[in-house]
Amino acid sequence: MTRPLSEQELIRRENLQKMIDLGINPYPNETYPISHYSNEIHEGFAEDNEKYSAVCLAGRLMSRRIMGKASFAEIQDTHGRIQIYVNRDEICPGEDKTLYNQVFKKLLDLGDYIGIKGHAFLTQTGTLSIHVTELKVLSKSVKPLPVVKTDAEGNTYDAVSDPEFKYRQRYVDLTVNPEVRQTFVQRSAMINAMREFMTQKGYLEVETPVLQPLYGGAAARPFKTHHNTLDTQFYLRIANELYLKRLIVGGYDGVFEFAKDFRNEGMSRFHNPEFTMMELYVAYKDYEWMMDFTEEMLEFVAMKVHGTTDIQVGDNVISFKRPWKRFSMYGAIEHFTGVDVSEMDEDTMRKAAEDMGVHIDKTMARGKIIDEIFGEKCEHQLIQPTFITDYPVEMSPLAKKHRDKPGLVERFEAICNAKEICNAFSELNDPLDQRQRFEHQLELGKRGDEEAMQLDEDYLRALEYGMPPTAGIGIGIDRLAMIMTNQPSIQDVLLFPQMKPEGE
């Protein structure tokens, strides 16, 4: 069913047809020879040189003031805005003044893409402008952009202020609110800095399957799909851990991957069903080494993105400067609640959780109860980057048992701005122990734990061939980007977050 057009859309389509009737192609198929961008002219212009005596720019028409045979307008390119001065006799040197009188004054609409050639100058009021000598229509916009309004206090209002609109129509958000682009520029810089840091260390970037016959490497519910040719059920990966560790078995000393993972779970300002994870595995290392590595890398990233290790995040200044604070899991719970749970069995811990006001359901075993207590009572108090170490073995089926502390594993999570940003282990490389852990996960699944892991026979076979001592880490790129770009919601650092179908 064709949607009804608004009055403005109808007018724009009429203008489109009038252009065509005048012999102007509103969608030319040619390369336009851009020579400069608005920001470099703003930054480099000086009246006493000829550096910008011949420039060629392109962008959206964002404002226009018609003044007889001469007009001022503003175009927006990928780096900002710049004023342009358009004189009828300059762009129409002959007898035919159609390009100015009909096209520029009447048929061009705000949002249209145009290309201009000319030279930079200062107006009598001192405004840097481009004196246009040639103008070309590059693309006609047949749908108007939202109107931006500013009140007496300087507050800006427009349709794109509505999260439902901006996340669903990000292309409009990026146009009307160009400062949003900087968030994604910084996100890209963050990823590039991480890639640079790990590549300089000699680690290899790889790719592993997104479609997996068995899901594993994390505790989460998967998305299911069906492969028609193989007539087999597959899963969108919840993690790439088990495949990367297969590569350590195969002889690589260090591998990493920026992976799209998928978890069929709730959505919030900290959770999106599709998210980006960076996982790194390094042979002959342990979790203590990985903590030092993580501090060093994220300090490097902060400097690359911001030029400082101190980053404003909401009302807090978060410092990524080394060293970071460290708590054991049990130590953190005792520190923030005053309760020592380290020697409690499942029943006693269940009672302690209830006394703390932490909701526990019957499917939760001891490890899950500890996780709930920590999440409810400790996590929100950890603003500065902090390592939480030495988790109970029940919580960590892929981590190596602690060398000195029975019942614990060598694992850490980094918590920052009250949320986990990474998870790391001394990786379990004993195939017999790993099989027992997987079998325990199967029992948890029978108790109703929908996030329990599956038993992966091929991964166990890989371990049986022998995997060297290995340290591994997974870093949540989206959550880290929230911190590095000072954004309150994960949807603000995803260009196209998942949403309900439009209209529901």
**How confident is the model over 303-345, as pLDDT tens digits?**
999 999 999 999 999 999 999 999 999 999 999 999 999 999 9
- Angstrom distance (rounded) from CA 186 to CA 484: 8
Q: Give the residue extent of every domain in the chain.
A: 7-139, 180-324+384-493
Peptide bond into 323 cis (omega under 30): yes
pLDDT tens, position by position, 348-380:
999 999 999 999 888 888 888 999 999 999 999
pLDDT attached to residue 376: 94
Give 277: exposed, middle or buried? Use CB within 10 Å, 0-12, 13-18, 19+. Answer: buried
Name the residue with tokens 């811990």: 349
- Angstrom distance (rounded) from CA 120 to CA 116: 12
pLDDT above 70: percentage of residues in the chain: 97
Mean pLDDT over the full length of the chain: 93
Q: What band does 14 get if pLDDT is binned at 50, 70 and 90?
A: very high
| β 316-319/325-328 pair status | unpaired
pLDDT attached to residue 150: 61
CB atoms near residue 116 (< 10 Å): 22
- Angstrom distance (rounded) from CA 426 to CA 400: 6
Residue 188 token pair: 């890209």
- Angstrom distance (rounded) from CA 437 to CA 432: 9
pLDDT tens, position by position, 62-75:
999 999 999 999 99
Which residues, including other chains, have CB under 8 Å from residue 488's CB and lie 6 or more apart?
Answer: 269, 314, 482
Mean pLDDT calculated for residue range 448-475: 92
What is the DSSP-derived secondary structure letter of residue 179? T
- Angstrom distance (rounded) from CA 465 to CA 470: 15
Mean pLDDT calculated for residue range 425-447: 90
Task: Judge whether 7-139 and 180-324+384-493 match in fold.
Answer: no
Smallest CA-to-CA distance from 70 within 85, 49, 53 is with 85
Q: What band does 49 get if pLDDT is binned at 50, 70 and 90?
A: confident
Of the listed ranges 180-189, 388-397, 458-467, the least confidently predicted one is 388-397
Smallest CA-to-CA distance from 299 within 324, 328, 322, 278 is with 322
CB atoms near residue 478 (< 10 Å): 22
pLDDT attached to residue 504: 67
What is the DSSP-derived secondary structure letter of residue 355? H
Mean pLDDT calculated for residue range 111-122: 97
- Angstrom distance (rounded) from CA 446 to CA 451: 11
CATH topology of domain 180-324+384-493: BirA Bifunctional Protein; domain 2 (3.30.930)
Mean pLDDT calculated for residue range 465-476: 98
Smallest CA-to-CA distance from 129 within 52, 68, 58, 62 is with 52
Residue 2 has pLDDT above 90, yes or no: no
pLDDT attached to residue 156: 57
Phi, psi angles (nearest 5°) of residue 433:
-65, -40
CATH topology of domain 7-139: OB fold (Dihydrolipoamide Acetyltransferase, E2P) (2.40.50)
Residue 151 has pLDDT above 80, yes or no: no
pLDDT above 90: percentage of residues in the chain: 83
Under 8 Å between Cβ of 483 and 417? yes
Residue 438 has pLDDT above 80, yes or no: yes
pLDDT attached to residue 21: 97
Residue 462 has pLDDT above 80, yes or no: yes
